[in-house]
Structure 1
Amino acid sequence: MSDVTIEYCVPCGFRERAIALQRAILNGLERDIDSVALVTGDHGVFRVDVDGETVYAKGEDDYDVDAIVREVRARL
């Protein structure tokens, strides 16, 4: 089983985006993961890690919930 971490920028207002992504990951992968943690950050961060390995980082990829969930699934 794996741990997923979603780090998001508080000053940027990314909390709702992080919560929506957390919900999507849980809806699709709840039985395959141990946890989905939300971690507060700053400086524009929005990053998704699976067991410490980054699968999405804002600025490197377009934000697409379905694509991120597929990347998380691929890393499990």
Structure 2
Amino acid sequence: MTRVEIEYCVPCGMLNRARDVAEAVLRQFGEGVDEVALVTGDAGVFVVRADDDVVFDTETDDFDVDSIVRAVKPYVGGAA
């Protein structure tokens, strides 16, 4: 099963974005993931990892919830 980690910048106010991504992943894959973890960070970080692989990084990617969910999909067994 898959672990998804969303590391977000607390001082930047990115909690809402992190929750949006977590909700979208859970809505799309449900029990196909073991865990969706919100991890606090700083310095503008917003990184999404699936099984420790970076699938989204705000430094190189444009923020789009649907794109992030698509990037997580290959890591989820029995993905919908």
Q: Do the structures match in fold with TM over 0.5?
A: yes
- Percent identity at matched positions? 49
Q: Secondary structure at the match of 1:13?
A: coil
Determine the structure 1 residue equivalent to 2:58.
58
TM-score normalised by the chain length of structure 1: 0.96
| Cα displacement (A) at 1:31 | 2.0
Identify unmatched segments of 5+ residues in structure 2. Answer: none
TM-score normalised by the chain length of structure 2: 0.91
Per-residue CA shift, 1:19-63, capped at 9, x if unaligned?
Answer: 011000000011211000000000000000011110000021110
| Cα displacement (A) at 1:75 | 2.5
Do structure 1's residue 46 and structure 2's residue 46 form an aligned pair?
Answer: yes
Determine the structure 2 residue equivalent to 1:23.
23
Q: Secondary structure at the match of 1:5?
A: strand
Root-mean-square deviation (Å): 0.7
User: How many pairs does the alignment contain?
Assistant: 76
Moved over 2 A (4+): none
